[in-house]
Chain A
Amino acid sequence: MLERITLERRADASALRSAATYGVALVVAVALSLGVMIWAGVPTGALFEELIVQVFLTPAGLARTLTQATPMMLAALAAALCLRLKFWNIGIEGQLLMGAIFATTVALYDIGGPIRLPLMLAASALGGALWIAAPALLRLRFGVSEVIVTLLLSNVAFLFLQHLLFGPFGDTSHNFPTSPVFDEMEKLVRFGFGDTHAGLILAVIAVLAIAVLVHRTRFGFAARFAGDNPRAADALGFETRRVMLISILLGGAMAGLAGGVIVSGTEHRLTQAVGLNMTFNGIVIAALAGNLPLMIPVVSFFIAGLSVASASLKVFYGVSEGIVLIIQGIILLTLVTFQFTATYRVTIRGPEAA
């Protein structure tokens, strides 16, 4: 059987072909996803209403989608900055939690007086960067696999979060493991459009700044060269390790900032649910965006919409929230498969003719 399948590398892997492939892949992915949802019990007639109208076309739905997209954009930047350097950061949740913890610390201990909110956000970025510093240094200095270290440090961060919520950060007025609600000056301003808040602007600014950094600066050039071929970058005299370290720390900072934005913009306190699924969301969005910063807001918007839709699917049709992860997985796998066929031509021949 295997002998009848041949792979031929395409001589003309053009930009047009890859764009067309991306389009077809999305159509196939959406079709497969819809199939899965119908199979899971969502009535066919309700799909358009739940997935498009309620999520993107009603004011309340759009507001929810934008609110969810905000930290996703930052998490995706964290993933993309690291993936561009082939540093597999699968501990975005950990960095995000440390960011949330640092921001909450500034808020609960009333540090910084009038500049407390900016200080909270700066602290969150610092927290995320610190949490990725250890795996980054271990990898760059000793070649320790960052896959294991970032993943396990996520668990450490989560246990530390639990320790804080059940101990020093706990709200004594009730028995739930959350911190006390923040003061007004510790909250990001809301636009009066659902829960959308100034964090959205912050995230868009971060996207633009990183797009400029990656595509238009000498540092970004060095990072691209170092990410693609560190040996060649070394031979040209680029400070490969320094460039990689700074990029990775910046990635951690973006994840931390996502945590800061969630606690100061949406939750207004520290909870256990902060950062849920953000590693996977960040990586999926970055991968679908081809690690291009400017594509990240677009993809984040749709993935956030999917996540918002899943909440109502659960309430109205009893479909598990896990369906979102399944659909994200389907989209990602479909895209990767199609990208393969854009590079290789797969031919399966019939049985040998006599």
Chain B
Amino acid sequence: MTDVETARAASADAAPALDVRGVSKRFGEATVLDGVDFDLRKGEVHALLGENGAGKSTLMNILTGIYAADEGQIAVCGAPARIRSPSDAVALGIGMVHQHFKLVMPFTGRENIRLAAGTARAGCDWVTVDARIAEVLRLTGLDVDLDVSVSALSVAERQRIEILKALTLGAEILILDEPTAVLTDQEAERLLGLMRDLASAGHAIVFITHKLREVMTAGDRVSTLRQGRMVMRGRAVTEVTSQALSVAMIGEQETTPIARGASALGAPLLQVQDLSVRNEGVGVVDGVTLTVHSGEIVGLAGVGGNGQRELAEAVLGLIPSTGSIALHGSALTDGSVSDRRAQGMRYVPADRTGHALSPNSSLAENLAAAAVRTGRLGHTFISIRTILGFAKSLINAFGIAGAIAGGRRPVRLLSGGNAQKSVLARELDDAARLIIAHSPTRGLDVAACRFVHDRLIEATARGAGVLLISEDLEEILALSDHIHVISRGRLATTENAKPGREDIGALMLGHA
């Protein structure tokens, strides 16, 4: 009998679903996991917290057979298991919904599940798979259209297909990696409900998240990883405070919520009037009018893909638009990107590696790029020494860790947090007047989020204005002096400058 079959046979009524003991993993010099213990019971939602780079993904990759542990034992349903490949994990009933979905875009949801079933087990015919899908749908009440191309579905629907896929493949243990990061509040609520339902049906769920509130509402127990060590192991959620969790996650640092006193409103800085953007004949931004004053943070909330990126790019002059844009009262509707940047406009795009950085260029070159472009570092010739010298001061000022050899290594080797720090270091120079920051903290850990927020607040203290576009409502509420909501390319408005959470949620979905 193989390990797999032993585990299956023993799974009948044992309460423990997963028991991890002393698991370690090293990549070269770096110890990513150091003797980690973790246990998971059937019928529970076990929240796993940890900053970026704490080792959560590595641990989950070991459980799903993508990496092999260097040391330690894993038992599934009470029986020792060796997980040596993703198919071993599937056979043991371990399923994972990754942060970046593993779906074939042109295929329908059903085809994706058939494909996964076909690779997991030989001799799996479509009729059997479809029957299993139908059974899972009936048991879970999952609601998603399986017969349209995945590319036509929303993120939340794709996620439901991923969950359905894992369950159809027989997952008893379900790992969800930051599943709410990409969802709106309402969608997240729905997902948390689904997780509770699955747990009551006997599934064991590992729920990875950065959001303390979700741990408190949906979790049964909580574990916390910090720098490869399990610093809080399987504590009941009812016994811990969110303060204790924060401390466990980021150490003994102060964790007071970021709040800003009302700053003196300066002169109007950015005035956007009736701005519209059309993309292949379809209006993606529709008559947007907004003003950002000096010293002000204007928050723009909304579900991703409602015209935020186009609005930001039109204001920066990257894409053509109609309407008028004025900075410091002077119109720059026809100005080029470099004209606008010369007037102090800066951009922190949502997609750091895709839209802000040159991944194969060095960190130093990326930091110096804006100064090189304006000719500040030399009109025709640029020496490498000048670039490194310029970068060095920014690396120190922004504390960019991982800047090996003075920033000579390609920027793609940096972690997400450090990559974002390098974008900020470049964009938040002294001449920055209007900063368009789109999801500036997406995927960052608590400490890095704090850092980003502090820098933005600092900029407003210098008299800059910030247009903060974010899908993270907490962030918008914590930082903004004035909040707008964007839905289907239009600004949805309320009477007061800072609408409440429920109002914003309703506006986002276009109910108001």
Contacts and interface: CB of A to CB of B under 8 A. Distances in A.
A352 B84 CA distance: 10
A183 interface: no
A232 B357 contact: yes
Nearest to B313: A235
A106 B2 CA distance: 80
B20 interface: no
Contacts of A239: 338
A354 B380 CA distance: 68
Contact of B372 (A218, A234, A349): A218
A6 interface: yes
A235 B378 contact: no
B127 to A, nearest CB: 24
A8 interface: yes
A155 B361 CA distance: 36
A229 interface: yes
Interface residues of B, number: 40
A217 B337 contact: no
A232 B355 contact: yes
B415 to A, nearest CB: 12
Interface in A1-38: 3-4, 6, 8, 11-13
A225 B336 contact: no
A216 B355 contact: no
Contact of B337 (A6, A224, A234, A352): A234
A228 B355 contact: no
A222 B379 CA distance: 13
A225 B372 CA distance: 11
Contacts of A12: 27-29
Given A217-B381, A218-B380, A237-B341, A232 B372 contact: no
B115 to A, nearest CB: 14
Contacts of A4: 85
A273 interface: no
Given A216-B382, A229-B358, A234 B318 contact: yes
A216 B383 contact: yes
Interface in A220-264: 221-222, 224-225, 228-229, 231-239
B396 interface: no
Interface string B20-50: 0000000111100000000000000000000
Contact of A221 (B29, B360, B372, B379): B372
Contacts of A225: 358, 361, 365, 369
Q: Which of A3, A4, A222, A239 has the most CB of B within 10 A?
A: A3
B463 interface: no
B369 A229 contact: no
A143 B372 CA distance: 28
A344 to B, nearest CB: 13
Nearest to A12: B28
B318 A235 contact: yes
B355 A354 contact: no
A222 to B, nearest CB: 7
Nearest to A9: B27
A239 B347 CA distance: 17
B355 A235 contact: yes
A187 B451 CA distance: 66
A84 B257 CA distance: 47
A235 B356 contact: yes
B382 A352 contact: no
